[in-house]
Amino acid sequence: MITVSVVGASGYSGAELLKLLVRHSGVRIDRLFANTSAGKKLADVFPAFNKTLDIVLEQYSVESIAKSDLVFIALPSGEAMNIVPGILAAGKRVIDLGGDFRLQDTSLYEKYYKRPHTAALILKQAVYGLPEWNFSQIKSAVLIANPGCYPASAIPPLVPLLKDSIIEPAGIAISSLSGVSGAGKSTSLEMSFAEVNESVRAYKVGVHQHYPEICTVLTALSAVTPSLSFVPHLLPITRGIYTSTYANLKKNVNEEAVYAVYDKYYGKAPFIRYSISAIPEIKNVNYTNYIDIGFRVNQESRQIVVLSAIDNLVKGAAGQAIQNMNIMFGFDEKEGLK
């Protein structure tokens, strides 16, 4: 049994994390922190927790996590780096669901996140929390950088194809569509129901903070440096991400050969589902920790289209964080997630 605390428990990812933690057999939830809602009961902020978690939300302090083995941080990017050094100094392990420790290059962070990085000295301790590729590093890590939601949908389908030279590394195009919960509890007009309903629009084209994450992680895992475009879109739905990736084939392969490559790398991965025939759909992955992958090969044009779907709040955030926790502390990787 381990004891965990959550900083940022009143946000969408924080709430999703708690829904998963309460059904985990090896976890005791200790303290919950949410500065803007401090003093309120969790059930007053999220009525779904009534008679499930009778905990009062608190202002965060490093002294308050004294009994915790692990601290989850579900704060907007830019905030975790202010408190993680103190948590690590207290001897606690950390899983950060934000973006502060995903990029080892602080100049990239500052370019795309538009702020200075104040915790560069501990960046080398951060392990990128992609369980299917970094299992052994995650197991011994003290600081996990949970992947961003878009990278969680784009990176797993691409790494095997790059690693086995199935696709050309140049000219990859990634188009992702996300539900609006990915933006967090924003109060901006553009995220209101009236603005997103019955519409689809691209945003942050060429400047999205997940672009350098996708590029650097693909390079690190495949030993190939891709050149790619990434265009995110907003869908008029609450949750889910649908990613379509287009690439030129490097080898003359058919769909059976592509399936064999995925089977080679993901045959034992508990939360990656891939099919030679089925086309992924958001409705089939929502509220789960699965990523569904499908693909079509056009041998005449020597191109491949790879399709993937995830729940941005689960596989793209809280579920992957639980999966990382399970690996860190020796639980069954699927505990609390199936």
Q: How many angstroms separate the Cα of 41 from the Cα of each of 49, 66, 90, 223, 276?
A: 10, 21, 27, 48, 48
List active site positions.
149
Provide the β-strand partners of residue 167: 249
Paired sense of beta strands 272-274 and 143-145, if any: unpaired
Residue 236 CA to residue 234 CA, distance in Å, equals: 7
The dihedral sign for the CA sequence 95, 96, 102, 107: negative
Q: Cite the DSSP H helix spans in the chain.
A: 12-21, 42-45, 80-89, 106-113, 131-140, 149-163, 193-196, 210-222, 255-266, 319-328
- What tokens appear for 77 in the block? 């990017």
Backbone torsions φ then ψ of 260, nearest 5 degrees = -65, -35
The dihedral sign for the CA sequence 149, 217, 112, 325: positive
